[in-house]
Amino acid sequence: MKSIFALATITFKEGIRNRSLFGIALLALFLFGLNITVAGFFMRDIGKVTVDMNLSALSFAGLLLVFFVGVNLMAKDIDRKTIHLVLSKPISRAQYIWGKFFGIQLFVTVSLLLLLVLSSLTVLLLLQMYPAYFVGFSWSIFYIAAFFILVKFSVLAAIVVFFSSITSSSLITLIFSLSSYVAGVTIEEVVFYLQSEFAVQEKIISESLKIFIDIVSYIIPNFTVFDFTLEAAHGLAIAGNRIFLSLGYGTIYISILLMLASFIFARREFN
Amino acid sequence: MADFLLSSVSKTYKPGLFKKPVQAVNDLSLNVSHGTVYGLVGPNGAGKSTTIRLLLGLIRPDSGSILFSGKLLKESTVQSEIGYLPENPYLYDHLTLAELLNFCGQTSALSISDTHERGQVLMAKLNLLEVQKRPLRTFSKGMLQRAGICFALLHDPSVVILDEPMSGLDPIGRKMVFDLIVELKQQGKTIFFCSHILNDVERLCDQIGLMNNGRLIKQFEREVFLQNIGKTVFLHTSILDESQQLNIQSLGGSIRREGEGHLLAIPDGNYYPVNSYLEESAIKILGCRSEWMSLEDLFIQSVKESGQ
C-alpha cells in the first residue's frame, strides 16, 4: 500500500507541475469568461445556457487533462524506459498499475476541483446578475453533474492505464483511448437507433451488424450514463437509483479494467 | 556462494511482424560470486543490456535458468536487494532529486529519517547537495547520471547493477563515481557492471566477461590478463628473429608480438641474464609497459577470433 501511495504521489506531482495544465486552465477560463459575456443574449434561457456551458467547459477541460497530461504520466514511463528504474525497486507490477491510476485520478480530481471553483463563481455571478432567469436551478444537482464528469474521466483514466499496459507507445495509447471515448459517448445512441422502428425500416442494416453492435455495447464504456447536464440545466431532480447505478457502473468498469491491466502488465516484458 | 548463476540462458527478441527475430543472448552461462566486481564488456549489440534486464526480471529467458542467491529468480525476490542504474537514466522531469529519493525510500520501506540521512550522504559524495531541490529536467546529463546512482544506492542494496555508470560524466564526475564504486567494493557488495570504458573495467573488476553476438566468448580473473602476480618487467623491443626468441625464452622470458615489435615479460629474478643477452645481441628496446596485455588488446583479439 505504501508503494502505491508513493507512486501515486509522484505521478500526481508530475502531472500537476506539467506546463500544459496552464494552457488547459486558460482555455477553461476563456470559456467561463465567454459565458459571462454572451449570457445576456439568451434572455429567458440564461440559467440553462450558463449551466450547460459551465459543465461543458469542465468536461472539455477534463478531456484535455486526461489526453494531454494523463496519457504521458504512464505511457511516457514505458516509452522512455523510466519504468526500468521504477520496477527495479520493490514495487510489484500490479502495484505500479494501481499507483499510476490513483496518481492520474488524483491529478484529474484536483485540477477539476480548481476549475469547479472558478465555474461556481461564474454561475454565482450570473445568478446575481439575472436571478429571474435561474428558476429551478439547484446547486446540488449542478454539483452532482460535476461529480459525474469526474467519474467519467476516472473511467477514461482507467482506459488510458489499460492501453498503456498493452502498448509501448504513448501515441498508440492516445489513439486507442480517444477512439474508446468517441465510441463511448455515441454507443448508446447507436444502440437506441438499432432498437427503434426507423432501423427496422432500413433494410440495409444486417442482423450480423446488429449482433456485433450489441456485443460491442457491452465492452465499450457507455459515457452517457455519467451525463447529467440536462438535469442540471433544467433543474430536474435526479433519482437516487440512477446515481447509484451510474456510480456502480463506473466503479465496476474501472475495477475490471485495472485488474485486466494488472494481469497483462505482469506478463509483459520490458526491452 | 554465487549471487547470480546463469545457466545456458538464451533470449530472442521478436521485433514485430515480418521482421527477423534477433537472438540477443545465446547460451549464456556465467557466475557472479558474492562480493566480487564483475565487468561485462562487449561491442554495441553484444547483449550486455539484455543480460542486465534478464538479471532484473524485466524480461524472461526463452531457455536456461537464472538463480539469485541459490534460488530461482523472481522479480519480487531480487528488487529489495538490488540497486540498478540504467544506461542514460530517464528520471521524472518535474520531480526534484529530494522527492525522487523520498519515493525510493518509501518503496524500499526505509524510515523518513533513514531516507533523509542516506540521501544526504550520497548526494554529498556525488556533489548533488546544492541541486537537490531543483527539478530533474534542469539537470545536465552527468548530473542525471549521478542522480540515478543516488537512486540506485539509497536503500543500501547488497548487489549493485550498473549499466555504463561513467557514461556522460566529466573527469571529476568519473572520479566521484569511481571512488564510490571502490567504496562499495570495500564494503563487500557484489557489483555487476557493463562499460565501454575498458580502463575502468581493468581497474575495478575482479572478474571480466567478454561478450559478442550474444555469447560469452571469454571469462577470466583480472590477474590472468595482467600477469601481475609477482614482479615482472615488460619491455617493448624491435622485431626478434626466431633464434633470439628461443634464447630469451630459455632465459625465462615470455614473448608476444605487438605492433611493430615484440613485447617481453621478464620475471624479476631473470632480468639481468635477459638484459645482458639483449645488450650482447644489440636488440633495440623501444620502451617499457606496466602490463602484459591490456584489456583493449584482449578485447579486440577476442572479438576478431570470435568472427567479427
- CATH number of the structural domain spanning residue B272: 3.30.70.980
Residue B307: the pLDDT is: 62
Please give the share of chain A, as a percent, with pLDDT higher than 90: 33
Query: pLDDT tens digit string along B75-103?
Result: 656 677 888 988 878 888 889 999 999 99
The CB-based long-range contact list for B61-65 (8 Å cut-off, 24+ gap) reads: B61/B9, B61/B10, B61/B11, B61/B25, B62/B10, B62/B11, B62/B12, B63/B8, B63/B9, B63/B10, B64/B6, B64/B7, B64/B8, B64/B9, B64/B10, B64/B27, B64/B28, B64/B29, B65/B6, B65/B7, B65/B8, B65/B9
- Identify the closest residue of chain A to B90 by CA–CA distance: A82
Both B126 and B211 in one domain: the answer is yes
Both B210 and B62 in one domain: the answer is yes
Both B241 and B211 in one domain: the answer is no
Q: Is residue B189 part of a domain?
A: yes
Residue B6: the pLDDT is: 84
Q: B99 and A13: CB-CB below 8 Å?
A: yes
pLDDT surpassing 70 at residue B306: no
Query: pLDDT tens digit string along B195-214?
Result: 877 777 878 888 888 888 88
Among candidates B90, B95, B148 on the partner chain, residue whose Cβ is nearest the Cβ of A13: B95
Q: What is the mean pLDDT of residues A177-198?
A: 86
Both B199 and B90 in one domain: the answer is yes
Where residue B230 falls among pLDDT bands split at 50, 70, 90?
A: low
Both B30 and B175 in one domain: the answer is yes
Q: A84 and B94: CB-CB below 8 Å?
A: no
pLDDT surpassing 70 at residue A67: yes
- CB-defined contacts A:B, below 8 A: 83
Give the residue numbers spanning the domain of B245: 228-292
Both B163 and B40 in one domain: the answer is yes
Q: Is residue B178 part of a domain?
A: yes
Residues in chain B with CB shorter than 8 Å from the CB of A91 are 79, 107
Residue B77: the pLDDT is: 62
B75 has a chain A CB within 8 A of its CB:
yes
Q: Is residue B151 part of a domain?
A: yes
Tally of domains within chain B: 2
> Closest approach of chain B CAs to the CA of A261, in angstroms?
17
B13 has a chain A CB within 8 A of its CB:
yes
pLDDT surpassing 60 at residue B308: no
B93 has a chain A CB within 8 A of its CB:
yes
Residue B75: the pLDDT is: 60
Both B165 and B239 in one domain: the answer is no
Which domain CATH number covers B168?
3.40.50.300
Residue A149: the pLDDT is: 93
Where residue B167 falls among pLDDT bands split at 50, 70, 90?
A: confident
Both B56 and B158 in one domain: the answer is yes
> What CA–CA distance (Å, rounded) separates A197 from A186?
19
Contact B100, B136 (CB under 8 A): yes
Q: A10 and B148: CB-CB below 8 Å?
A: no
Written as nine digits, the cell of A148 is 459525474
Query: pLDDT tens digit string along A201-217?
Result: 766 777 788 888 888 88
Mean pLDDT over all residues of chain B?
83
* Residues sharing a CB contact under 8 Å with residue A41, sequence separation 6 or more, in sequence order: none
Residues in chain A with CB shorter than 8 Å from the CB of B91 are 82, 85
pLDDT surpassing 50 at residue B229: no
Both B125 and B255 in one domain: the answer is no
Q: B104 and A269: CB-CB below 8 Å?
A: no
Q: Is residue B304 part of a domain?
A: no
pLDDT surpassing 70 at residue B294: no
pLDDT surpassing 60 at residue B74: yes
Q: B86 and A85: CB-CB below 8 Å?
A: yes
Both B151 and B260 in one domain: the answer is no
Residue B226: the pLDDT is: 58
Both B248 and B100 in one domain: the answer is no
Residues in chain A with CB shorter than 8 Å from the CB of B148 are 85
Residue A116: the pLDDT is: 92
Spell A186-204 as b/e; 16+ CB within 10 A means b.
ebbeebeebeeeeeeeeee
> What CA–CA distance (Å, rounded) separates A165 from B241?
67
Mean pLDDT over all residues of chain A?
87
Q: Is residue B302 part of a domain?
A: no
A90 has a chain B CB within 8 A of its CB:
yes
A20 has a chain B CB within 8 A of its CB:
no
Q: Which of B281, B295, B223, B219 is nearest to B251 (CA)?
A: B281
Interface of A with B in 51-80 (CB under 8 A): 80
Residues in chain B with CB shorter than 8 Å from the CB of A22 are none
Q: B84 and A85: CB-CB below 8 Å?
A: yes
Q: Which of B188, B166, B185 is nearest to B177 (CA)?
A: B166
* Residues sharing a CB contact under 8 Å with residue A255, sequence separation 6 or more, in sequence order: none
Q: Is residue B307 part of a domain?
A: no
Q: Is residue B283 part of a domain?
A: yes
Tell me whether residue B171 is exposed, middle or buried, using C-beta atoms within 10 angstroms of its C-beta: 0 to 12, 13 to 18, 19 or more.
Answer: exposed
DSSP B284: P
Both B165 and B22 in one domain: the answer is yes
Q: Is the pTM of this model over 0.90?
A: no
Query: pLDDT tens digit string along B108-144?
Result: 888 888 888 999 998 888 888 888 889 988 988 888 8
